[in-house]
Amino acid sequence: MKKKLTVLTLILALFLCSCGYSAGDFVTMKKYKVQGSDNAKNYIKEKYGFEAEVVDVDNEYPMGGPIPDLTPMPTGFVTVKMKYQGKEFNVEIAGNSKNTDGKDDYQKEEILSFLEEYIIDAYPTVDGVSFPSLEDEDTLFGPYLTGDNFFDYIDEEDYKSHIVLKLFNKDVKEFPIDQFRLDFPCDSLSVINYKDKSKMPNPDRMGYFSAYEAAGVLPYISQYLYYEKNSVEDYEPEYFEVFSASYDGLIVCVLQDEPITIEKLADAEMPNSEVRHVASYHLRTNADRAFVYIPKDVASKDEDILVRNDGYDVNTDVNDEYVYFDDIGIVDDSDGYTTSFDFNIFAKKK
């Protein structure tokens, strides 16, 4: 038995060395987890008044740089998955010292509902409100929700304080954006007019606004107004309108009031035997840019949709209903229109 233990110890030592971490490093990592778990339990008890169960705990590590670090040491903070009365939630807290200064998402749904209701109470013409950054899966909250502490969560100095105001069948240019910015100072603001009250998805916004960040919602909207606090002095909110055309189940959106023509073409040459041809089209418009939306149901559930132009694959994105792309990188056929190209749709088994 002693011989077996000696062999196992040797194997473990060799494994640790091969990983690049020392035995002391692993001791430190474990200490962070133990202390972090205790801190999380005390933090939740102090904040909410109940004792939660620790389900799992992970050390947090610094973000990687251009030169990868194969043996990074943890930051000293931990993420603790906890459970109380069947509800799981996460806590971020220090593991390198004893304290109860943390963040969690136990009240996340209640916080987001409170923030939306608070704004709609002040501006009843608003049909919906979302906070894309706060809704992110990784977003945690420090302040306890009291029902009167809106500005504990929305701070114009915090880049996560992006508010999306959703209107239905109203002109966004008539919305009192200047007064709203005084009442609710925030880092950035979108005011969007949706065409269908039952379909008001959030735009994808990562960094500075452009039409590309709104591409995922263009089929659902007619107007989009955007304001960012950190813009140049006297910056006017950016505004655009969306013009759409439908053909054969496709939707094409442009940002200029220009006619859109879509024609169906003959079957395309198959790039390989693993795909089937769905349809081919020719699009032309004098708008500077075109966004094409392909319904997901043109392919079966066990197929992916592929788009090709001039023999090359086209980069696509997806939302809940469509696979979509724009004309950046598309080979234009220069037939007298600003934007004019062919595209082929294929389906491939997953």
1 part of a folded domain: no
> Coil, helix or strand for 244?
strand
- Let me know whether 173 and 89 are in one domain: no
328 part of a folded domain: yes
Over residues 224-276, the pLDDT tens digits come to 998 887 665 556 788 999 999 999 999 999 999 999 999 999 877 777 778 99
Domain boundary, last residue among 192, 211, 241: 241
11 part of a folded domain: no
- Let me know whether 170 and 78 are in one domain: no
d(CA 217, CA 220): 6
Over residues 203-214, the pLDDT tens digits come to 875 444 455 578
- Let me know whether 230 and 315 are in one domain: no
pLDDT of residue 233: 58
Longest dimension (CA), the chain: 85
Domain carrying residue 123? 108-241
Backbone angles phi, psi at 183, to 5 degrees: -75, -35
Q: Name the stretches of the chain with pLDDT < 70.
A: 1-19, 205-212, 230-235
- Let me know whether 159 and 40 are in one domain: no
CATH of the domain at 53: 3.10.450
d(CA 90, CA 53): 11
Domain boundary, last residue among 241, 275, 291: 241
Q: What's the predicted TM-score (pTM) here?
A: 0.84
Q: Where do runs of H (alpha helix) occur along the chain?
A: 2-19, 23-48, 108-122, 132-135, 177-183
90 part of a folded domain: yes
- Let me know whether 116 and 100 are in one domain: no
213 part of a folded domain: yes
Domain boundary, last residue among 206, 241, 276: 241
- Let me know whether 38 and 81 are in one domain: yes
336: left (phi over 0), alpha (psi -120 to 50) or beta: left
10 part of a folded domain: no
314 part of a folded domain: yes
- Let me know whether 230 and 259 are in one domain: no
Residue 71 has a CB neighbour count (10 Å cut-off) of 9
Give the side-chain half-sphere CA count within 13 A for 235: 13
- Let me know whether 137 and 224 are in one domain: yes
14 part of a folded domain: no
- Let me know whether 259 and 172 are in one domain: no
What is the number of structural domains in the chain?
3
Where would I find the beta strands (DSSP E) of 206-318?
Answer: 221-228, 238-241, 243-247, 250-254, 260-264, 275-285, 291-295, 303-309, 312-313, 317-318
C-alpha distance from residue 116 to each of 126, 140, 164 (Å)? 10, 17, 10
Look at the block and give the residue holding tokens 């992110």.
Answer: 136
